[in-house]
């Protein structure tokens, strides 16, 4: 059966050129980067060249880039450090963050750490006036942790505006940028942010490797204890070929960003228009035609016996998508993001997310199948 993959916000297929760059480090250049002999020096050079490449692309210094196992570890490191090392006693976040952030801030919330959730506007964007109010009225030093682009509905945060507010109130700013590194241009030297994160598998790189950017003016202790890897910041033998693959994938994504972003956004908007024409009562979650991530389309279908089994039936027909409604039965509690926005039990939400490899023909096939199923 032909399969159509429309779940690129979850993960993307590895680019063959990235695999090609990784292969030598899986075979002949296998040395431990901490070793002083030639094999080790070759590996160390591969990592440091990757670091320089990533830093240059993101507008950072190489010393501000740390390689991790992915976005979850990076966010955990930054959020924990803000509390334990930087003196933050008030966390300000949103109810629609990725669970890597949400579960971390809930875990840290207690007698000594206050947790506040910023209000959301009806379209799902963060209410910046409420954020300023929370910062202005905080008796303690604050950590603001807000994602750059929501992984479910695609809403984009104005990082510059949030960063300026944090600067004004002497707050620490961490942004989960997992959905946007590799998809948008960054200039970290001119962005008032203390921590950002990235994950290679979101832009056709390997799984199990990510980055944590730590602004050079921030001094924290390691989250993972052990050896002196990553300049004493992240213990454990480095994921050598993963790091090389991350840098190569980011290079490719950046070189072709304009072309790929136009192609992907055209597909997304084409699918949105086709769905409106083909299926009565369809609607979209998030700020689709405003400040929105170009890879994500979150669709609400009217609830019925047919639509309740929609993801299952799409899978049977070889179509990969993801979702979660505000209210679902069984073990799946549904999407906390959709629940925070609408909590409408009469809608079934499905996320379609696209990559450079998707085509208009695939969109036509998926829309035709949705029409048939619903």
HEC string of the chain equals: CCCEECECCCCCCCCHHHHHHHHHHHCCCCCCCCCCCHHHHHHHHHHHHHHHHHHHHHCCCHHHEEEECCHHHHHHHHHHHHHHCCCCCEEEECCCCCHHHHHHHHHHCCCCCEEEECCECCCCCECHHHHHHHHHCCCCCEEEECCCECCCCCEECCHHHHHHHHHHCCCEEEECCCCCECCECCCHHHCCCCEEEEEHHHCCCCCCCEEEEECCCCCCCCCCCCCCHHHHCCCCCCCHHHHHHHHHHHHHHHHCHHHHHHHHHHHHHHHHHHHHHHCCCCEECCCCCCCECCCEEEEEEECCHHHHCHHHHHHHCCEECEECCCCCCCCCCCCHHHHHHCCCCCEEEEEEECCCCCCHHHHHHHHHHHHHHC
- Number of other CB atoms surrounding residue 125 within 10 Å: 20
User: Known catalytic residue: 166?
Assistant: no
Residue tagged active-site, from 88, 166, 320, 327: 327
The residues, ordered by sequence, that sit 6+ positions from 258 with a Cβ below 8 Å of its Cβ are none
CA distances from 184 to 97, 180, 260, 293, 364 (A): 19, 6, 11, 9, 27
**Could you list the active site residues?**
327
């Amino acid at each position: 059966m032909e399969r159509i993959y429309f779940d690129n916000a979850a993960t993307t297929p590895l680019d063959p050129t990235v695999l090609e760059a990784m292969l030598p480090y899986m075979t002949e250049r296998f040395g431990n980067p901490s070793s002083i002999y030639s094999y080790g020096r070759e590996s160390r050079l591969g990592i440091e060249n990757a670091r320089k490449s990533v830093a240059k692309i993101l507008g950072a210094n190489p010393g501000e880039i740390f390689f991790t196992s992915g976005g979850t570890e990076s966010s955990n490191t930054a959020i924990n450090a803000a509390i334990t090392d930087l003196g933050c006693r008030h966390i300000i976040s949103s109810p629609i963050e990725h669970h890597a952030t949400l579960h971390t801030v809930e875990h840290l919330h207690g007698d000594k750490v206050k947790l506040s959730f910023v209000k959301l506007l009806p379209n799902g964007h963060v209410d910046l006036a409420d954020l300023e109010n929370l910062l202005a009225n905080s008796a303690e030093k604050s950590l603001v942790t807000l994602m750059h682009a929501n992984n479910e509905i695609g809403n984009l945060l104005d990082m510059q505006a949030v960063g300026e507010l944090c600067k004004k109130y002497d707050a620490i700013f961490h942004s989960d940028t997992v959905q946007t590194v590799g998809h948008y241009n960054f200039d970290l030297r001119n962005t008032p942010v203390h921590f950002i994160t990235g994950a290679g598998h979101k832009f056709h790189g390997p799984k199990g490797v990510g980055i944590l950017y730590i602004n050079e003016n921030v001094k924290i202790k390691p989250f993972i204890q052990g050896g002196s890897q990553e300049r004493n910041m992240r213990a454990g033998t480095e994921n050598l070929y993963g790091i090389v693959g991350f840098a190569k994938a980011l290079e490719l994504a950046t070189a072709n960003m304009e072309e790929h972003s136009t192609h992907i956004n055209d597909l997304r908007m084409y699918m949105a228009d086709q769905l409106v024409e083909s299926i009565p009562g369809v609607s979209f979650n998030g700020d689709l035609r405003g400040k929105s991530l170009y890879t994500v389309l979150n669709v609400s279908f009217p609830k019925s016996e047919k639509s309740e089994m929609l993801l299952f039936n799409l899978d049977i027909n070889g179509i990969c998508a993801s979702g979660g409604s505000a209210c679902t039965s069984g073990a799946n509690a549904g999407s906390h993001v959709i629940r925070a926005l609408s909590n409408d039990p009469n809608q079934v939400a499905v996320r379609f997310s696209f990559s450079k490899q998707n085509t208009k023909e695939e969109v036509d096939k998926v829309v035709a199948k949705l029409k048939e199923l619903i």
